Amino acid sequence: MSLVAHRLFSVGIRIDNRAGFSSDQLAAMSEGLDRMSCPASAEVVICEDFVSEVRNLLSSTTYDTVRGANVVAAKTIPVSDDSQVIVVNADPVRGLELAQLGRLLAHEAGHALIHSRMEGHPDLDLRSPQMGEQVLHALATTALDEYRVERAVYAQGFPLRRRWTGPPRARSPPT
């Protein structure tokens, strides 16, 4: 396991490089974190077994990465009021261009900022006794958080996100 700590402003953000990413890739990731002023309370874990890592941090047995046509590239998890872990899914992210890596980590740093300020959505069980309302509330708060993050990422000079479904794959000819 390789552990790299990059200095951002006057604080260090720990990057646990379990997947053997190159120094150029790590530098691009650090630039994204830096440009968004990622809080020192965040840690980045780049791992091959993304689902197991996320399940462990969430204490969940049901988390998965099935998202229709999209691929989960990373997830920011608040592990306490003053600590966040950005888990990077090494397999689909490994083939990204350096600029895309920086943008991805800038996006996740935005989520870490929201959580560090305790501005994320609260436990939905406390908000509504009715499941339908919980689902609608969850959709709305997730959309709002994504808007806030994307607006901040764009304000830092990153391009608007294009739809990304993972590294190019060989396609079967139409039948």
> Domain limits of the chain?
14-156
pLDDT of 6 over the 70 cut: no
Lowest average pLDDT, out of 52-56, 108-112, 135-139, goes to: 135-139
Dihedral of alpha carbons 14, 18, 23, 24, sign: negative
pLDDT at residue 163, as a whole number: 55
Q: What is the mean pLDDT of residues 15-41?
A: 96
pLDDT at residue 130, as a whole number: 66
30's CB contacts (< 8 A; 6+ apart) are 6, 8, 13, 15, 105
Best mean pLDDT range from 5-9, 12-16, 124-128: 12-16
pLDDT at residue 126, as a whole number: 44
- The band of 43, judged by pLDDT with boundaries at 50, 70 and 90, is very high
Lowest average pLDDT, out of 1-5, 116-120, 135-139, 148-152, goes to: 1-5
Cβ contact 32:109 at 8 Å:
yes
CATH number of the domain located at residue range(s) 14-156 in this protein: 3.40.390
Cβ contact 1:19 at 8 Å:
no
pLDDT of 5 over the 50 cut: no
